[in-house]
Homo-oligomer: A and B are copies of this chain.
Amino acid sequence: MEKKLWKHIQLVKQNAPLVHNITNYVVMNTTANALLAAGASPIMAHAKSEIQEMVSIAHSLVINMGTLDEYWVESMLMAAETAHSTKKPWVLDPVGAGATSFRDRVASQLLAYQPTVIRGNASEIIALAKANTTATKGVDSTAQSNEAIEAAKTLINQYHTMVCISGETDIIMDGSQTIFLKNGHPLMTKVTGLGCSASALVGAFIGDTDNTIEAVAAAMSLIGIAGEIAVQDSNGPGSLQVNLIDKLYTISEEEFMSHLKIERR
């Protein structure tokens, strides 16, 4: 599989997929730059008057709930519905799920349109499952990552989706297989929006592929490895944000392959 991940990275550079992002204000610039650096073409658009047309011209859709409000939620729902009904791949990034009842309601409505991939951290995935599945509430798990895996399973069963739990180890699950990625660096958590950029890259990688779980693993390992390498030349989170974009653009096959830490079960 390792060799195949690099092929996905090359494919994005060759095909420059158009990725339609309905994302939060905080990360729009970084996300657009991450997509451009990886070879994709970003569109950011949210107007109800054009949302369906935009979804239809894009290769994929990414919905990120970060700075949602009532208007944006309507746009998100229209976009998700269009993606679902036209079988366009789409990613849900449930930022802040569990923080307010509004976010839980919105996440619940979006899930009904069966995202191709859900990417969130452990607590967001757990919150989604608690609010939106018929799973027994008292999932008995001591460690949070185990609890998140159980939560992911219930989401996968109920919504026929794939789940990527990001964290120190990224866990990608599709119901039949599970991939563990151990790339990345703790300093990346001090840069705002790298999770959001990861979701956008996942969107780019699943835009035109015949193997979605591999594409997700390629996107997640790309940003993890680029971050790891970028940290080496960084003096803190400010320069890491800059160097990570550079590395997404310049990463070589050798750099990628020599850093890749992947495990499959």
- Interface residues, chain A, CB within 8 Å of chain B? 24-30, 32-33, 36-37, 42-50, 53-54, 57, 66-71, 96, 99-103, 190-193, 234-239, 241-250
Contacts and interface: CB of A to CB of B under 8 A. Distances in A.
25 contacts: A25-B44, A26-B32, A27-B29, A28-B67, A36-B192, A37-B190, A37-B236, A37-B237, A37-B238, A42-B192, A44-B67, A47-B69, A48-B69, A48-B70, A49-B70, A50-B99, A50-B100, A50-B101, A53-B100, A54-B99, A57-B100, A237-B246, A237-B249, A238-B243, A241-B242
Contact of A28 (B25, B50, B249): B25
Contacts of A96: 43, 45
A243 B249 CA distance: 16
Nearest to A21: B26
B239 A246 contact: yes
B26 A102 contact: no
A105 to B, nearest CB: 8
Chain A interface, >50% SS class? helix
Contact of A54 (B24, B46, B100): B100
B237 A245 contact: yes
Given A25-B28, A33-B238, A47-B69, A190 B100 contact: no
Contacts of A25: 25, 28, 44
Given A33-B238, A44-B67, A49 B247 contact: no
A164 to B, nearest CB: 22
A242 to B, nearest CB: 4
Nearest to A187: B249
Nearest to A57: B99
Contact of A36 (B27, B54, B69, B190): B190
A44 B28 contact: no
A221 to B, nearest CB: 19
B67 A101 contact: no
Given A45-B67, A236-B250, A101 B242 contact: no
Given A27-B29, A42-B192, A239-B243, 12 more contacts: A26-B28, A46-B69, A47-B70, A50-B99, A50-B103, A53-B99, A53-B102, A238-B242, A238-B245, A239-B242, A241-B242, A242-B242
